[in-house]
Amino acid sequence: MDSQVMPREQLGVCAEGNLHSVYLMFNANENIESDMRPCVANIAQYIFELADQYSDSAFNGFVAIGANYWDTLYPNARPSQLKPFPAMNKGTRDAPAIEYDLFVHIRCDRFDILHLVANEVNQMFEGLVELVDEERGFRFLDARDLTGFVDGTENPKGRSRQEVALVAEEDLQFKGGSYIHVQKFAHNLSKWNRLPVKKQEDVIGRTKVDNIEYASQDKPLTSHIKRVNLKDSEGKSMEILRQSMPYGSVKEQGLMFISTCRNSVNFEKMLESMVYGDSEGNHDHLMHFTQALTGSSFFAPSLDFMIKAE
Ligand code: HEM
């Protein structure tokens, strides 16, 4: 592909936040790849076009291919950093890997549209897949996680969303694509809500109501933002774009954590810092109040890659 031409990215990768979301995880049937390639391209194109049709409700989405399924679907080329989810465990802190072949992520400010599109996508896949997991996310209060803390404040803004999330010249064939990591976290809210607010704030590293970042010297080494605010060997900030939203029901609820990034290293290093901690063992105390039920690694190629690969 001409390095001067930016292939069209799938619009959900860098989109701004929405009120509602639907997450569909599929596993593919065997020996159907020649039908699957045009099918995923059609679905990605359909989602892309709906973003225009429903622009007043900010519809967006993407289709991503699982790390373990990639070579089956696209045997001729693989994104250079695509690898299975980096499962980790230390003490009671667990980040298991549960992989899926395909992930369809759709978001909109109207839930009825999402419901229709989710059914349509499922129909388009008929005979090719099994739907193995489905969740629906929602905006909680003023974009807060169910812990009551605003989530997404320090996300990249404006043009830098693309710079952080999309592969560029470093892997020309996959320009405009993005590495996606998903973890479904189930919160222990009764335990969390028993914690005094000041202690909750120490766990996050920001104030709760006003969402103000702690001064550097006041951030506990075990606070979430201390653990995930990392620099590389050249002193540059390692960033990801988070597209997480609360999900669930009274029975089970938490955060659908979604990272999109131009590399797969930044997410992995942050998760290591949360689970294993620093050299003194200071791990992320947020992990005492939430449990990762899944961990999946995908790549969301550009729309043009999928159409060309049909
Ligand atoms: C920041 C919540 C998991 C990476 C934050 C903030 C909250 C939060 C409340 C502060 C506001 C903001 O800047 O968005 C949560 C919850 C999680 C979770 C409830 C799971 C239950 C993760 C994971 C990662 C991560 C798994 C990466 C592996 C980040 C990053 C920031 C952040 C990079 C911005 C830090 C900064 O620059 O200040 N998170 N998070 N989070 N989180 Fe998480």
Question: Which one of 160, 225, 230 would you pick to mutate in the ligand 1 pocket, going by the greatest count of ligand atoms within 8 A of its CB?
Answer: 225
Structure tokens at 53: 């049709």
Which residue has a Cα nearest atom 6 of ligand 1?
151
DSSP 8-state assignment for residue 106? E
Which residue has a Cα nearest atom 34 of ligand 1?
154
Above 90 in pLDDT, residue 148?
Answer: yes
Q: What is the mean pLDDT of residues 121-146?
A: 98
Structure tokens at 64: 């991503």
Catalytic residue among 151, 202, 284, 304: 151
- Helix (H) or strand (E) segment spanning residue 226: helix 224-228
Reported confidence tier of residue 310, pLDDT bands at 50, 70, 90: confident
C-beta pairs of 110-119 under 8 Å, 24+ apart in sequence: 110/19, 110/20, 110/54, 110/57, 110/59, 111/19, 111/20, 113/50, 113/54, 113/57, 113/59, 114/20, 114/21, 114/22, 114/59, 115/22, 117/22, 117/47, 117/50, 117/59, 117/61, 118/22, 118/24
Predicted local confidence at residue 3, as pLDDT: 46
Side-chain-side CA neighbours of residue 253 (13 Å): 15
Residues with CB under 6 A from ligand 1: 145, 147, 149-154, 183, 185, 204, 206, 224-225, 228-229, 240, 255, 257, 259, 267, 270-271, 286, 290
Predicted local confidence at residue 99, as pLDDT: 98
Reported confidence tier of residue 127, pLDDT bands at 50, 70, 90: very high
Question: Which one of 141, 144, 151, 188 would you pick to mutate in the ligand 1 pocket, going by the greatest count of ligand atoms within 8 A of its CB?
Answer: 151
Q: Ligand 1 centroid to 151 CA: how many Å?
A: 7
Which residue has a Cα nearest atom 39 of ligand 1?
151
Q: What is the mean pLDDT of residues 111-122?
A: 98
| Nearest in space to 36 (alpha carbons), one of 72, 84, 81 | 72
Average pLDDT, whole number, for the chain?
A: 97
Q: What is the mean pLDDT of residues 195-221?
A: 98
Q: Ligand 1 centroid to 224 CA: how many Å?
A: 7
Structure tokens at 227: 């653990």
pTM above 0.95, yes or no: yes
Q: What is the largest CA-CA distance in the chain?
A: 57
Angle between helices 111-124 and 33-53 (to 10 degrees): 160
Q: Ligand 1 centroid to 121 CA: how many Å?
A: 30
C-beta pairs of 140-148 under 8 Å, 24+ apart in sequence: 140/246, 143/17, 144/246, 145/244, 145/246, 145/255, 146/187, 146/189, 146/246, 146/248, 146/253, 146/254, 146/255, 147/187, 147/189, 147/192, 147/200, 147/204, 147/289, 148/200, 148/208
Predicted local confidence at residue 5, as pLDDT: 72
Reported confidence tier of residue 1, pLDDT bands at 50, 70, 90: very low
- Tell me: ipTM over 0.95: yes
Helix count (H) and strand count (E) of the chain? 9, 14
Tell me whether residue 278 is one of the annotated catalytic residues. no
Q: Round to whole Å and give the CA distance between 115 and 136.
A: 10
**One-letter identity of residue 82:** L
Domain ranges of the chain: 20-308
